[in-house]
Structure 1
Amino acid sequence: MFGLRLPELLLILLAVLLLFGGNKLPQLGKGLGESVRSFRRALREAKSDEPEPAAKEETTVRAK
């Protein structure tokens, strides 16, 4: 995962704990999860709003 191993992940977790404290972590996780869900929903809606490409009409060229 992004080239991070266990020691690096533990160091990042420790830094987050020191910056925000244990009480804020659940709120931060909830906010992050809601943001990701909202972003994915917007992507799905953008894809469904795109018009379907028109079906290619087959044209035959008559030889003269």
Structure 2
Amino acid sequence: MNTLTIMALSWQHLLIVAVILLILFGGKKIPEMMRGLGSGIKEFKDAVKEEDKKPSEDTKNNSNSAQ
């Protein structure tokens, strides 16, 4: 059996999950959760970009001090 086929979700599965989430959290709470999730993802991406810039700046400073 193909693992990807087993793990694939059809539109019916997604609809059932959406209905369950709507029942559990209500219509007003879901947009707030999505905003929080979006801001969390944005902060994570910013932190990753900042961390990527940091080593290159450190190596430039180290090479300039050594000379």
TM-score (norm 2): 0.67
Structure 1: gaps of 5 or more residues: 55-64
Moved over 2 A (4+): 51-54
- Does residue 5 of structure 1 match 2:15? no
Where 1:4 maps in the other structure, the secondary structure is coil
Greater fraction of residues in helix: 2
- The one-letter code matched in structure 2 to 1:28 is M
- Kindly tell me the number of residue pairs found equivalent between the two proteins: 53
When Rg is computed on C-alpha atoms for both structures, the one with the higher figure is: 1
- Aligned-pair RMSD on alpha carbons? 2.0
Deviations 1:2-61 (A, max 9, x none): 72221111111111101100111110111110011011111111111123779xxxxxxx
Structure 2: gaps of 5 or more residues: 1-6, 61-67
Q: Once the two structures are aligned, what percentage of the paired residues are identical?
A: 32
